[in-house]
Structure 1
Amino acid sequence: MAPAGLLADVREDLAGAREDLAENDREDAAEELRDAAGKLRRYAQSAATDVRQDLANAATELDALAGEVRSGGITSTAMLDERLAGVHAALAKAHAASSREAWGRRDLAAAGRQITAAADELEIGLTRLGHGVDAGAASVIRDARDLGGRLARGAEATPSDVERVFKGLGDEIEKLHRAAAPSQR
């Protein structure tokens, strides 16, 4: 199983890149994006099979973004945010897959932490797109965080509740992925 801490590091790198770009420090922003790409590649090596390609694609996107930021092709945080939305979709999918694996092992605490992280990445991705979080996505995010919190505290949950949240998250992550696709921007 892939080390989950790498995904948290990626989120921090992306936030740092945004801050650096806001301060017009293109070199540091590009470096943060390259660092995030490398971490995604390392994570992908041992990630669940169904998310490896998404993570590899996200890493490739981050490398391309780093070049565009460095060269001045990406000049605003709004431009960066729009391009990072798909990366957050991949991160959300990876966290959801890790949560599902942990649930299968009956590691409730890990399942809870990962499902909460998936909800967080989904919300960040939707926000970065600039469309806001619609009522359906907000409900899924709220349900995932509620379930994640309960599982992280060691509380039991019914398999049907867990599957309902996994399905809702999966559907919303896929919507984000489609909305963030280059042909949709």
Structure 2
Amino acid sequence: MSAVTTATRSVHDLAGSVTDPEMPMLTLADLGVLRDVAVEDDGRVVVTITPTYSGCPAMATMRDDLVHVLHDHGHADVEVRVSLHPAWSSDWITERGRRALRDHGLSVPGPAPRHDGPVPLTLLPVPRRLTCPRCGSDAVALTSEFGPTACKAMYRCTACAEPFEHVKEI
């Protein structure tokens, strides 16, 4: 492995270790928002991230956290870029990330919906097949399409009566 590749891998590992401000059990790498890390010839670090959805309020904090971590490890010149294409998908959450969500009592997203054409607009709740992360029952009821963050919905298990958050399929 060349010195440049080793340096880039080290910086990528640092950037990938930054946690999501809304779901701190996930790193940006495990969430799938960390798209690219490059170390240029002059030592400048360029990190590219993709928001989980446009307008995500956590993006500024992700950027600041990335800059702080890289500065703290001796990288003085850091630029964080935002890439909207391709759009992020919940399918990009790693298996380690999905395990971390389950371990913290969140319901993990199923496969993201696929569309060959225009996305149909509906004002009805999205039907989802999921199970309670606490007891495993599929007897669940949607209580709110929006939870503490826009990327989560709130459910209640009708078997064990526990409320839980579900990370939405996007």
Q: TM-score, normalised by structure 2?
A: 0.27
As a proportion of its length, which structure holds more helix?
1
Greater C-alpha radius of gyration? 2
Q: TM-score, normalised by structure 1?
A: 0.26
As a proportion of its length, which structure holds more strand?
2
